[in-house]
Amino acid sequence: MATTTHTSAGPFVNEPITDYSKPENLAGMRAAIAKVRGELGREYDLVIGGVRSRTAGKIVSVNPANPSEVIGIHQKAGPEHVEPAMQAALAAYEKWQYASLEERTGVLFRTADIIRQRKFEFNAWLVLEVGKNYDEAEADTAEAIDFLELYARQAIVLDRAEPVVQLPGEQGFLRYIALGVGAVISPWNFPNAIALGMAGASLVCGNTVILKPSSDSPTIAAKFFEALEEAGMPAGVVNFCPGSGATFGNGVVAHPKTRFIAFTGSRDVGLEIHTRAAQPQQGQLWIKRTVLEMGGKDTIVVDADANLESAVAGVTAAAFGFQGQKCSACSRAVVHADVYDEFLVKLKASVEKIAIGLPEDNARMGPVINEGAMNSILNYIEVGKQEGRLITGGARAAGEGYNIQPTVIADIAPMARLSQEEIFGPVLAVVKAKDFDEALAIANNTDYGLTGAVYTTSEAKIERAMREFHVGNLYINRKCTGAVVGANPFGGFNMSGTDSKAGGTDYLYLFTQAKSIGRKL
């Protein structure tokens, strides 16, 4: 990043969360949903280098709560679009890497303002395209704003970096410069926050981007892409390319001019990207960098001395918020034998209070993302019925959408499939532990290491968990979901990814390279 003067920005403050218990906010959301409904079914263009085009193949996005309702029709980028997208991004990079700090941070700050002013509308798209209720949509949109605001400020911090030591007779400089063209491959479960966070971090550092959003949430990506354009982002800095991962996505990852890949999604796809990126291509000048956030098999440990009411509330929220479709979701509760039966009684009562309905009506629980996901989750439930004891749920729920009852299965063995494999749906396995030692051992017994939580009143056990519970995000006496930008930098260990710590002050290092300069005086 070239040293330059810049517009000062105040200290980072998290975006306030809208309270939907207030009638005026409920009315605002309902009006926004009605407004957005008037735009459903619109066709969106592929945008490469600022040029809009259409393809023969289409991606049709539908409402998972009502699959007959088309949200948006999108172009399907194929292998023939890889080279045009790369050339557009390379051409834009020639200028963007040298753009002033004010210009780069200004795009992020203005985009954050646009989204803030239209928060209800962005939330409404999340409600209709991916099935979030108002609070879950609000958290997604607020996090997108937070990412933009924090990363713009961190770009200013990096621009001021200096060597630790200035040698006599020499002037030292440290410059964090852009990497090049990056692929941003974003998920459907946080389609606003994660996609904008990865793209925003890329472009504020001077990189250009080929953006491939999930085929389950391309309309939300189109909306924030429009916001980036409105905020003054030059053509080609981000290229909007929905498409197949197997063709277009793999082609971009393998391209010799791709400098980095930022990906959030499943372990299998993340590892495939990592492997593909590691194979040098003819004409490739660098080792490609991968920034990967993958899956989780996240555990909440409930000790014998825990406040059970608090633990039950935390497990319920973490396991079934957004239908369990979070990489941070609690999919295992490991409970001390002394309170196991009492915990299950309280948990059953808590889970059975969850109302299933339409996200647009702000139901606490809505559909899973698509039919394939629904069938996979239902299959895991059947496996769980063989491996353990069904406590509640266990079937598809009523309604036109892809609805599944919130399901709790107890008496699961630590190495059973339900205890080891990521399900990504509203299914909780409950495992009995004879003591805290065994509970910690079970918590650490998967390939993953993303989030975890411990409920206990013992300071000694809290200290042990802080030392020994091997996850990237650990919480004490609170749920394991809901990382807050700036407070809980997010990223996991082991097969959960590269511990990239999104929403942290060091995230931009992943999208830059440090150039050390010594000038003799």
pLDDT digits (tens, 9 = 90+) for 136-161: 999 999 999 999 999 999 999 999 99
Q: Are 256 and 126 within one domain?
A: yes
Dihedral of the alpha carbons of 360, 365, 366, 372, in degrees to the nearest 10? 160
Per-residue pLDDT band for 101 (boundaries 50, 70, 90) equals very high
Please give the Cα distance from 331 to 315 (Å, whole number): 9
Q: What is the pLDDT of residues 69-80, one digit of tens each?
A: 999 999 999 999
| Overall residue count recorded for the chain in this entry | 521
Amino acid at 424: F
| 435-440 LR contacts (CB < 8 Å, sep 24+) | 435/336, 435/337, 436/301, 436/303, 436/304, 436/336, 436/461, 436/464, 439/301, 439/303, 439/334, 439/335, 439/336, 440/301, 440/464, 440/465, 440/468, 440/469
Is 58 within the bounds of a domain? no
Please give the Cα distance from 449 to 473 (Å, whole number): 8
Q: Which domain holds residue 449?
A: 298-484
Q: Which residues of 470-481 are buried (b: 16+ CB within 10 A; e: fewer)?
A: ebbbbbeebbbb
Tokens of 258: 């791709």
Question: Backbone phi, then psi, for 203, in 5-degree steps?
Answer: -75, -30
Q: Are 269 and 308 within one domain?
A: no
3-state secondary structure of 311: helix
Q: Are 99 and 229 within one domain?
A: yes
Q: Are 255 and 316 within one domain?
A: no
Please give the Cα distance from 456 to 442 (Å, whole number): 16
Q: Are 221 and 369 within one domain?
A: no
| 261-266: average pLDDT | 98
Q: Is 293 a catalytic residue?
A: yes
Please give the Cα distance from 52 to 203 (Å, whole number): 21
Q: What is the pLDDT of residues 369-410, one digit of tens each?
A: 999 999 999 999 999 999 999 999 999 999 999 999 999 999
Q: Are 75 and 130 within one domain?
A: yes
Contact assessment for residue 302 and residue 339, using Cβ atoms and an 8 Å cutoff? yes
Q: Are 312 and 269 within one domain?
A: no
Predicted confidence at residue 9, as pLDDT, reads 80
Predicted confidence at residue 464, as pLDDT, reads 98
Per-residue pLDDT band for 6 (boundaries 50, 70, 90) equals very low
Please give the Cα distance from 75 to 57 (Å, whole number): 6
Please give the Cα distance from 513 to 207 (Å, whole number): 11
Q: How many domains does the chain have?
A: 2
51's enclosing H/E stretch is strand 51-53
Starting from the edge strand earliest in sequence, which strands make up the sheet with 42-44, in order? 42-44, 66-75, 58-63
Tokens of 180: 């090049």
Is 321 within the bounds of a domain? yes
Strand ranges in 125-190 using DSSP code E only, listed in sequence order: 170-178, 181-185
Q: Are 362 and 474 within one domain?
A: yes
From the candidates 205, 241, 327, 330, which is the catalytic residue? 327
Q: What is the pLDDT of residues 214-238, one digit of tens each?
A: 999 999 999 999 999 999 999 999 9
Residue given tokens 């509203």 in the structure block: 426
Q: Are 283 and 353 within one domain?
A: no
Q: Are 321 and 273 within one domain?
A: no
Predicted confidence at residue 126, as pLDDT, reads 98
Please give the Cα distance from 257 to 104 (Å, whole number): 22
Is 505 within the bounds of a domain? yes
Average model confidence (pLDDT) for the chain?
Answer: 97
Q: What is the DSSP letter of 353?
A: T
The count of other CB atoms within 10 Å of the CB of residue 507 is 23
Contacts of 162 (CB under 8 A, 6+ apart): 172, 173, 174
Per-residue pLDDT band for 8 (boundaries 50, 70, 90) equals low
Q: How far is CA 446 from the centre of its chain?
A: 21
Please give the Cα distance from 72 to 365 (Å, whole number): 23
Contacts of 306 (CB under 8 A, 6+ apart): 336, 339, 455, 456, 457, 477
Q: Is the pLDDT of residue 3 over 80?
A: no
Contact assessment for residue 364 and residue 355, using Cβ atoms and an 8 Å cutoff? yes
From the candidates 121, 138, 229, 293, which is the catalytic residue? 293
Q: Is the pLDDT of residue 353 over 90?
A: yes
Question: Could you tell me the CATH number of the domain that includes residue 503?
Answer: 3.40.605.10
Per-residue pLDDT band for 422 (boundaries 50, 70, 90) equals very high
Please give the Cα distance from 322 to 190 (Å, whole number): 10
Q: Is 330 a catalytic residue?
A: no
Q: Is the pLDDT of residue 7 over 80?
A: no
Is 149 within the bounds of a domain? yes
134: phi > 0 → left, psi -120 to 50 → alpha, else beta; which?
alpha
Is 174 within the bounds of a domain? yes
Question: Could you tell me the CATH number of the domain that includes residue 418?
Answer: 3.40.309.10
- Cross-strand bridge partners of residue 298: 330
Is 454 within the bounds of a domain? yes
Q: Are 401 and 285 within one domain?
A: no
Q: Are 87 and 73 within one domain?
A: yes
Please give the Cα distance from 244 to 266 (Å, whole number): 15
